[in-house]
Structure 1
């Protein structure tokens, strides 16, 4: 472990020094001047973050944390101690009989359903309110500007942040990839691996084999984890109070309102993490099926 940490620190220091050296080159300086790190938004783009976006941010974070936890348990638990069987008929069946699945998988699939429902609401509101213009690239200039922002971050001379008005291009690509690429991939691969997938669709199963879904699903989870780590780190290192007010209080001020709302939401997520155990999951699962050991 110590060796891995040492290698990571040395590699990070090398990246920073290399980026700082690059910024001394005249051609790179011209590039940074031409592409400062962000693309101007369309004139009709909204300014600021509405309250519904703050609630959506919390719900997405809440669900994804528990989805990652339950997904990891599904992947690493070789002999589950408790199982769930559906009460009524439904798509999760084998030869006319309901399929017995682990309690961890039941929790994972239940969270997935809530996350997808919340995601649909989120995307609909994005397009109704025009907030999509803040996270969907509207110009190819986003690519060189994202490279510029990445170089500025790497050199520790970070780009000017004004997330209330406009994200930098690296943020735009990151948010776009999470909402419109990683999330649909997680859904498509998870659905393919679930019992709800039609077993008799021979042609469809040949085109989209379950092995392909398994090969993609886990890396997508790792991508979500990396995104969360980097996202949280940058929120706290690029002006924590301003950023938390943007995300949780829907204001551009520098007070502590956003921080306290964030602290309360974090307490809820931590509590849910520790309560997501068989003792508390068993009664919930029993509402829709039979739990057995």
Structure 2
């Protein structure tokens, strides 16, 4: 073990130690929020507010009902890509000198594209999975608007604001909003998914391009400074992780079998089909996580370039 590697390990332990101290603080804050929300719901004014705004806005009569199969596939692929985007991004930030370097082949259009010729293997993984995530996202946007599913995640009336507040209070008090996601999302879900799809994801892509080796414009670099862009990119990653934790928790807390059927099987019942598809996808992600070692990465990266250790 070198002094540099020992310092990196010690630094990593220090980060996890600080995060460990945050756990009881987060639990205390969460308990305070729950107690405050329960207290609010005892007030007559709040009860009237919740009765007037139950937590969901009406959709147009032409809004589609249910989830098509393509949406279930998109959801599963997106979860897979996000896992490795976060993993490779964390490796780029936390590891020192890369163990391997990828060098592109100077053939065809790449010769004149101005693309970088050499990068660390973790950067290559990050950019490769990012490209797959973007292609998946483009297909999602096209299908979302072509099938009318956009109306389920795009606010169509101002009534969504008080309904979102109502849904937030109901969630915080652990008395879930009454509704059926197969027909329509509650207002807080709608705003959350809208922000993920139309704000957070494009922001992650835009800031990622600025930070990546493919960014070569010196003139635009002055207009888009590196420091604030890096902060925004990491902030989006933290937001995604926070959203995933909340999302998965609520999926299992508010009717796991029905929710998993919605998301993975495109069915509206309490059967086990969605659960087994979810379990299989989770097993696949775990296998891929442990298989994505230096040997496999070298083999895959070598398909589009050469991989060296120096």
1:35 corresponds in structure 2 to 53
**3-state SS in 1 of match to 2:307:** strand
How much is the aligned-residue C-alpha RMSD, in angstroms?
1.2
TM, length-normalised to structure 2? 0.90
| 1:198 alignment partner in structure 2 | 216
Cross-structure match for 1:92? 115
Tell me which of 261, 264, 267 is aligned to 1:248.
Answer: 264
> Unaligned 5+ residue runs, structure 2?
1-16
Q: CA deviation at 1:263?
A: 0.6
The answer to whether the 8 A contact 1:83-1:292 is kept is: yes
| CA displacement at 1:269 relative to structure 2 | 1.0
| CA distance in structure 1 between the partners assigned to 2:135 and 2:288 by the alignment | 19
Q: Counterparts in 2 of 1:202-281, with a 5 A limit?
A: 202=219, 204-281=220-297
The residue aligned with 2:40 is 22
* SS of aligned partner of 2:209: helix
Residue 207 of structure 1 and its aligned partner are, at CA, apart by 1.8
The CA distance in 1 between the partners of 2:204 and 2:182, in whole Å, is 29
- Match of 2:217, SS state, is coil
Alignment pair present for 1:156 and 2:179: no
- Corresponding residue SS for 2:66: coil
Correspondent of 2:186 among 149, 164, 168: 168
> In structure 2, how many angstroms separate the alpha carbons of the residues matched to 1:270 and 1:117?
23
CA contact (8 A) 1:16 1:156 kept: yes
* Contact 1:91/1:195 (<8 A) preserved: no
Instruction: Give the TM-score taking structure 1 as reference length.
Output: 0.95
Contact 1:54–1:247, Cα closer than 8 Å, also in 2 = yes
Could you tell me how far apart the structure 2 residues matched to 1:208 and 1:226 are?
26
Corresponding residue for residue 30 of structure 2? 12
SS of equivalent to 2:67: coil
Shift in Å at residue 92 of structure 1? 2.2
After superposition, the C-alpha distances for 1:128-167 in whole angstroms (9 at most, x for unaligned) are 0000001111111111111110100111111113000010
Counterparts of 1:178 and 1:252 in 2: how far apart (Å)? 24
Please give the alpha-carbon distance, in whole angstroms, between the structure 2 residues aligned to 1:222 and 1:154: 21
Displacement of 1:3:
4.8
Residue pair 1:46, 1:131 contacting (<8 A) in 2 also: yes
Is contact 1:103-1:278 (8 Å) kept? no
CA distance in 1 between partners of 2:22 and 2:226 (Å): 34
Task: State how far apart, in whole Å, the 2-side matches of 1:149 and 1:175 are.
Answer: 14
The CA distance in 2 between the partners of 1:3 and 1:225, in whole Å, is: 19
Partner-residue secondary structure (3-state), 1:290: strand
What is the CA deviation profile of residues 219-267 of structure 1, one whole-angstrom value per residue up to 9, with x for unaligned ones? 1000010111111110000000000111111111111011111111111
Q: How does 1:116-131 map to 2 (within 5 A)?
A: 116-131=134-149
Query: What SS does structure 2 have at the residue aligned with 1:140?
Result: coil
